[in-house]
Homo-oligomer: A and B are copies of this chain.
Amino acid sequence: MKFSPALQELIEALRCLPGVGPKSAQRMTLHLLERDREGATALAAALQTAVDKVDHCSRCRNFTELEVCEICSDARRDAGTICVVETPADVLAVEQSGSYRGVYFVLMGHLSPIDGIGPEEIGLDRFQQRVVDEGIEEVILATNPTVEGEATAYYLSDVLQREGVKVSRIAHGVPLGGELEYVDGSTLAHAFSGRRPVE
């Protein structure tokens, strides 16, 4: 025995959300129908609008409803510095730190030859062209400190330095508020090899 067809379909459809298993999907379905039908209608509309309208910015590949996103078209930002990140969530994190006034390039992933993701799949060919054409002053690599993120950063720094572009990588080390005791070995190793003279 199962729920009625429309309920069963909604339970199945909710499974497309990351981290939602059969039990959560069932709980969500019953919650929406019992207590929040308005919310369900609003969610249906928001989903459809986002799918229809949101696409990639033609300059930085971040998600936007516009042809060129708000950050890329903001004249107050330093268009000569580009920060390369893996995902739109990374852009948000950097923006929230309030420490960066340049523009971005969002890879929407990282190099991963085993999954068939090469430089073209993450837009690196067009990015390289843009950096050269626009005479970009500095490219800051802020991909994740994972194997794939490091490989992507290494690849990019290699091709860009050959073009004579200044390339930097964000610092990795002990996070502020972190206690040495609980920091993992590779991070500590990074912190030591990246040490700077005290002035």
Q: Interface on A for B, CB 8 Å cutoff?
A: 1-7, 9-10, 12-14, 16-19, 24, 26-34, 36-37, 39-51, 53-54, 63-66, 69-71, 87-89, 92, 95-96, 108
Chain B: CB-nearest residue to A70: B4
Residue of B13, B16, B37, B50 touching A10 (CB-CB under 8 A): B50
Is A43 a contact partner of B69 (Cβ separation < 8 A)?
no
**Contact at A63–B18, with CB atoms within 8 Å?**
no
Can you give 28 contacting A-B residue pairs, CB < 8 Å? Answer: A3-B63, A4-B63, A4-B64, A4-B65, A4-B69, A6-B53, A10-B46, A12-B46, A13-B42, A13-B46, A13-B47, A14-B17, A14-B46, A16-B39, A17-B17, A17-B31, A17-B32, A17-B43, A18-B27, A18-B28, A18-B31, A32-B47, A33-B63, A37-B51, A40-B50, A40-B51, A44-B44, A44-B47
Contact between B33 and A1, CB atoms less than 8 A apart: no
- Given that A6-B53, A6-B65, A88-B3 are known contacts, is A14 also in contact with B43, CB under 8 Å in the complex? yes
